[in-house]
């Protein structure tokens, strides 16, 4: 059997956007770096949007870039070599991304390379029947994880975007293989890396605009999945549910006639002190009832953490090797 070489610049590249506040700016940035990219915009649902990419793809694999990403142009010059026997037909290739709110580096929001047939056949998120598949792709598909970082994720363009990003990860990182766990077993059952990421989402980010909304969202997501009876996992895959929840239940609790914060991009106004106090209240519950290491989400704490924290390698023995082609040969 021979090695398989994948030249990324030969594959279709799709930019998937929906309601990201900076989606047009990020699209323009991508077009400057890779003018052959295609765009799928406004398709509701994670599974549906990826299926639309697969239907439009003219190559047997395609690359997806989310609407909150800024991509390193070096990515498009990559050539990847896979050892003999690698099952590419049924595998998603995944690169880490750096989250610019909390500094975490992992697969969340990162660039992916998908087999067309696999995407057309999968049933995830809004199209899933199995409960665990309603939350994310990662518990249903085989991933080939790459260590190198080729994009940055900017998901705090508005209070709503930051809250949604944090809330989704707060729920996801509280699950064991996509399933809820008893509160008394939480510390034992949650994968250590995911628990560390959960703590980071809950505590870090207040030093960037709207970042405290991500911290609060993560705390509330962790709280809701663990303490709200009858909680529906599919909520975090529903754009409509998130919009209603935020606009009707969350934002009104953080507004007053003394609003002192205004989002520079969307104009959303809110009271920082009220949000901070609510984040503290939820944090105290997570600390008291679950033993989680929750601190005050202060800007100086976030800045210090991101200045000193080193993200661990995603995998010590990556399956494939990467090298640059073209411009640096």
CA–CA distance, 221 with 210 (Å, rounded to integer)? 17
Burial 105-140 (b: 16+ CB within 10 A, else e): bbbbbbbbbbbbebbeebebbbebeeebbbbbbbbb
Output the six-digit token pair for 19.
Answer: 């309601």
Pairwise CA distance, residues 65 & 12, whole Å: 11
CATH fold for the domain made of 4-155: Spore Coat Polysaccharide Biosynthesis Protein SpsA; Chain A (3.90.550)
Return d(Cα 116, Cα 56) in angstroms, integer: 10
Contact 81, 320 (CB under 8 A): yes
Q: Residue 130 — φ and ψ, nearest 5°?
A: -70, 135
Backbone φ and ψ for 323, nearest 5 degrees, come out as: -150, 155
Structure tokens at 262: 């205004």
Q: Which of 7-16, 62-71, 83-92, 109-118 has the lowest mean pLDDT?
A: 83-92
The token pair at 231 is 């909680």
- Reply yes or no on whether the pLDDT at 128 is more than 50: yes
pLDDT greater than 50 at residue 231:
yes
Mean pLDDT along residues 222-247: 93
The radius of gyration computed from the CA coordinates of the chain, to the nearest angstrom, equals 20
pTM recorded for the entire structure: 0.92
Answer yes or no: are the C-beta atoms of 320 and 85 closer than 8 Å.
no
Do residues 41 and 18 make contact, with C-beta atoms less than 8 angstroms apart?
yes
Q: How far apart are CA 18 and CA 23, in angstroms?
A: 8
Q: Measured in whole angstroms, how far is the alpha carbon of residue 31 from the centre of its chain?
A: 22
Low-confidence winner among 14-23, 117-126, 165-174, 215-224 (lowest mean pLDDT): 117-126
| pLDDT band of 325, cuts 50, 70, 90 | very low
Domain ranges of the chain: 4-155, 159-308
pLDDT at 39: 98
d(CA 98, CA 234): 26
**Contacts of 188 by beta carbon, 8 Å cutoff, 6+ apart:** none
> Helices in 147-203 by DSSP H: which ranges?
159-172, 186-189, 192-203
Give tens-digit pLDDT for 9-30: 999 999 999 999 999 999 999 9
Mean pLDDT calculated for residue range 257-269: 90
Contact indicator for 125, 45 with CB cutoff of 8 Å:
yes
Is residue 1 over pLDDT 80? no
- With CA atoms as reference, report the closest residue to 136 among 233, 40, 228, 217: 233
Q: For residue 228, count other CB atoms closer than 10 A to its CB.
A: 10
Whether the Cβ atoms of residue 204 and residue 102 lie closer than 8 Å to each other: yes
Average pLDDT over the chain reads: 90
């Amino acid at each position: 059997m021979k090695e398989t070489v994948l030249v990324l610049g030969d594959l279709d590249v799709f930019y998937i956007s929906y309601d990201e506040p900076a989606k047009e700016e990020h699209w323009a940035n991508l077009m400057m770096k890779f003018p052959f990219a295609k765009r799928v915009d406004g398709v509701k649902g994670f599974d549906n949007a990826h299926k639309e990419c697969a239907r439009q793809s003219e190559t047997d694999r395609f690359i997806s870039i989310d609407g909150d990403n800024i991509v390193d142009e070096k990515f498009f010059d990559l050539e990847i070599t896979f050892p003999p026997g690698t099952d590419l037909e049924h595998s998603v290739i995944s690169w880490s991304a750096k989250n610019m709110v909390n500094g975490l580096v992992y697969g969340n929001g990162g660039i992916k390379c998908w087999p067309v047939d696999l995407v057309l056949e999968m049933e995830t998120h809004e199209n899933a029947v199995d409960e665990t598949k309603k939350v994310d792709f990662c518990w249903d598909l085989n991933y080939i994880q790459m260590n190198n970082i080729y994009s940055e994720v900017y998901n705090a363009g508005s209070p709503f975007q930051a809250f949604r990003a944090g809330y989704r990860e707060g729920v996801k990182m509280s699950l064991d293989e996509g399933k809820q766990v008893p509160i008394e077993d939480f510390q034992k059952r949650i994968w250590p890396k995911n628990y560390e990421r959960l703590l980071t989402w809950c505590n870090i980010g207040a030093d960037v605009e709207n970042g405290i909304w991500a911290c609060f969202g993560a705390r509330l997501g962790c709280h809701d999945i663990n303490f709200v009876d009858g909680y529906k996992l599919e909520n975090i895959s529903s754009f409509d549910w998130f919009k209603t929840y935020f606009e009707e239940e969350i934002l009104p609790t953080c507004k007053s006639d003394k609003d002192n914060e205004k989002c520079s991009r969307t104009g959303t106004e809110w009271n920082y002190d009220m949000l901070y106090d609510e984040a503290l209240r939820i944090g105290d519950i997570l600390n008291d009832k679950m033993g989680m290491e929750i601190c005050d989400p202060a800007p100086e704490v976030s800045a210090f953490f991101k200045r000193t924290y080193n993200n661990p390698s995603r995998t010590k023995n990556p399956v494939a090797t990467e090298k640059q082609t073209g411009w640096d040969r």
